[in-house]
Amino acid sequence: MEIITPEEAIIITRVLIAMVLGLIIGIQRQIRKEKTKAYGIAGMRTHILVAISTSLISSTGAILLSSDPARLAASILTGIGFIGASTVLATKNKILGLINATTIWVCAAIGIATGFGLFIPAALISLLTLIVLELKRFEHIED
């Protein structure tokens, strides 16, 4: 009797990879949050949870349900779009939370990629995301 099926092992591996990639982005956001005292920034746990949940949904759909991957990804990103939209606040002079929303959205995309077994693109996008987030050091505007 198997304790874990091969399909479950694949799903767990993909979710764990998504967790590490979400953690990397989440740490950067958590550091920014604590350094700037901007407590509206989604932190480490949020980014991890988005990455692992989207990875679980996409890998389960792709492996066990044989669903249409494009339709599944579109549904996930639509839902994440609503979460991201709730973090954006437009005032008369500026828009707050846009980076917050986009990092949540990119963590969802990374989770989807890992869920579909696309580890190299997911890792590359995680690295590129960190680079883009660090470009803030060269700007003279606030998040």
Task: With both helix axes pointing from N to C terminus, report the angle between 44-63 and 69-85 in degrees, rounded to the nearest 10.
Answer: 160
Question: Residue range 47-76: average pLDDT?
Answer: 89
Residue with tokens 């967790």: 19
- Entry pTM: 0.88
**Which residue type, as a one-letter code, is found at position 3?**
I
Whether the pLDDT of residue 14 is over 80: the answer is: yes
CA gyration radius for the chain?
16
Question: Residue range 10-16: average pLDDT?
Answer: 97
Q: How far apart are CA 11 and CA 57, in angstroms?
A: 10
pLDDT given for residue 140 in this prediction: 64
Question: Residue range 49-70: average pLDDT?
Answer: 88
Whether the pLDDT of residue 128 is over 90: the answer is: yes
Q: How far apart are CA 18 and CA 113, in angstroms?
A: 9
Query: pLDDT confidence of 142, banded at 50, 70, 90?
Result: low
Whether the pLDDT of residue 141 is over 70: the answer is: no
Strands of 83-141 (E only): list them: 89-90, 95-96
pLDDT given for residue 19 in this prediction: 98
Q: How far apart are CA 58 and CA 76, in angstroms?
A: 8
Average pLDDT, the chain: 88
% of the chain residues with pLDDT over 70? 96
The upper half-sphere exposure of residue 19, i.e. CA atoms within 13 Å in the direction of its Cβ, equals: 7
